[in-house]
Amino acid sequence: MARAARSRTPHPGIPQTPLLRLLPIWLGGVHTLPRTVRRDYRSRRTPPTATLIEPPHPRVRSLGLIAVTVLGAWLGLLLIGSFHAPVGPMDTTMALRPSLTGGTRIDVAPLGDLELSSHYGPVRLDVDVDRLDPVRSQALVDHPERFSGLQAEVTRDVTRGAVGLALHSCVAVASGATALGLAVYRRPRRALAAGGLALALLAACAGTAYATWNPRSVLEPKFSGLLSSAPSVAGNARNIVSEFNVYQKELARLVTNVTKLYDATSTLPTYQPDPTTIRVLHVSDIHLNPGSWQIIASLVKQYRINVIIDTGDTMDHGSVAENHFLDPVSTLGAPYVWVRGNHDSRSTQKYLTGRKHVTVLDNGKVTRIAGVRIAGVGDPQFTPDRSVVAAGEPAERTAGGRLADALRTQRLAGTPVDIALAHNPTAATEADGLAPLALAGHLHHREITTLPQGTRLMVEGSTGGGGLRAVQNKKPAPVQASVLYLDRTTKRLQAWDEITLGGLGLSRAEVSRHLPRENQPGATPSPSGSPHPPGPSSGPSSGPSSGPSSSPRSHPVRGSSDSPG
């Protein structure tokens, strides 16, 4: 009571006015208002607020962690996931790669690859055959009895490689996911959670692959590139098992030849093409062989070809119905230069003229592609047309004369031609002395000749293996093409590779390196203002096994295996 009385006592230093006397009564009245009025009064007051960041939903956090884990695991596999493992006489690189369909891909560069539907799942097994080890191959050649245990050895090597790849992949996915998690979240616990989740996902992928493993997939491989002929080369897996003794002998011979190939590289001419070298692929006489397009596309990719030159006889009858056979020329990966052959009609030429990435040359027309000036003339005779009597070599020489006139005109104008084209070698010889290099076809076998005035005439074999004629002869014709290496500054021929593939039912692949005589070590270079200096002509070649070099000192590199399929 005293405290209450003391609180109502006016402060001695403050004058008491009527307003101050009423103030305590008003304030006390608020507490005496009804509860509903006070609630409404308080609801109208705005309480102080604080700005807070609402934490993300747990589901969003989980999805973010999964995304970081998957991306980090993929980067880890891509950067450090490869594992090197020897398998028999081969050195291989194994790796796991993300995939929607799974399976196994075996790459045998530069021949192509094969795919196996070995399993289904989000990862694919990639195996790259890096090289054939010459030491281990030689050991097999020296001790043929080891072939009987080769299968068990390969099985052990593959098993060892698979275990090593599994452990390596675990480290790769865990490291990648942990590193990315640390970069994104900057918290060790989150980063370790990403690494653990990556290992769990890899284990789940392995379980899926194991559950869907299909060992019979080796019976139905899918081949691409030059290996597309493998089914006719080696036969199917059942034949190999039923005739394993024969297969074993052929495998021994194949390894022997490949070993010789490695031995021959020690005497390979010193010329080494560099990235600035102009690479020209010379093909001819495809004769409606659809397999030629795939072979050409593979060679373009493997040799990084700058321009393809086709010296004619792409067709067989020159009919309008055959024109759609030419559609792939626009998708081969390099510009396509073409001259008409005696099996190509004017309709064929007209159809090709409108194709993308294709240049048709005739009547001495000149084009410049990849820095190389090329002129060509079409064959004046259309052989399938029996209503017209063939004019023979005089007509070919007349066509070659038109080509020679165009070459002289270009030389007088200060723009000399680097390569002259004709289908028939008779027409191409008219370019002698007017261009350093002349290309032709028509003969279905290789011939390389240095003409009297110094022009090198290179006649290509049949890139189509003779077309339908391949099944008419007792011995199938080989598939032939050549890669020409030209100096980027002078546009002169520095070297060439002769590529030969076995015909129907044969397994043979040869690559022969040749150097022109003037490029041999110690030779005097040819004057820049004239074609290659005259020299003894190279003898004709009926195939790469007797293919000529321009000098006795050039050493072709060969490796082959002939085996009936």
DSSP string, 215-283: GGGGGS-EEEEGGGGHHHHH--HHHHHHTHHHHHHHHHHHHHHHHHHHHHGGG--S----TTSEEEEEE
C-alpha span between 497 and 479 (Å, rounded): 14
- Map 376-388 to HEC letters: ECCCCCCCCCCCC
For residue 522, the one-letter residue type is G
Tell me, yes or no, whether 361 lies in a domain: yes
Tokens 């539907």 correspond to 117
Residues 191 and 267 reside in one and the same domain = no
Residues 214 and 137 reside in one and the same domain = yes
State the distance between the two ends of the chain, measured CA to CA, in whole angstroms: 122
- pLDDT reported for residue 401: 96
Task: Give the orientation angle of helix 188-211 with respect to helix 58-80, to 10 degrees.
Answer: 70
- pLDDT reported for residue 4: 47
Residues 475 and 422 reside in one and the same domain = yes
Backbone angles phi, psi at 401, to 5 degrees: -65, -40
Backbone angles phi, psi at 554, to 5 degrees: -80, 145
CA atoms within 13 A on the CB side of 501: 26
Tell me, yes or no, whether 561 lies in a domain: no
Residues 342 and 445 reside in one and the same domain = yes
Backbone angles phi, psi at 51, to 5 degrees: -80, 120
Q: How many domains does the chain have?
A: 2
User: Among candidates 341, 143, 174, which has minimal Cα distance to 255?
Assistant: 143
- pLDDT reported for residue 237: 43
- pLDDT reported for residue 36: 59
The last residue of a domain, from among 228, 247, 279: 228
Tell me, yes or no, whether 371 lies in a domain: yes
User: In which residue ranges of the chain is pLDDT below 50?
Assistant: 1-7, 26, 50-51, 229-248, 250-268, 471, 503-506, 525-565
Take residue 190 and report the two structure tokens written for it: 């989150």
Residues 137 and 285 reside in one and the same domain = no
Q: What is the largest CA-CA distance in the chain?
A: 145
Q: Residue 73 belongs to what domain range?
A: 59-228
The last residue of a domain, from among 228, 244, 270: 228
Tell me, yes or no, whether 2 lies in a domain: no
Tell me, yes or no, whether 31 lies in a domain: no
Residues 166 and 262 reside in one and the same domain = no
- pLDDT reported for residue 15: 55
- List, in order, residues 6 or more apart from 169 with CB less than 8 Å away: 77, 81, 83, 96, 202
Tell me, yes or no, whether 251 lies in a domain: no
Residues 180 and 284 reside in one and the same domain = no
Take residue 201 and report the two structure tokens written for it: 């996902």
pLDDT in tens, 164-204: 898 989 999 999 999 998 999 888 888 899 999 999 999 99
Take residue 488 and report the two structure tokens written for it: 């980027």
Residues 192 and 290 reside in one and the same domain = no
CATH no. for residue 377?
3.60.21.10
Residues 208 and 265 reside in one and the same domain = no
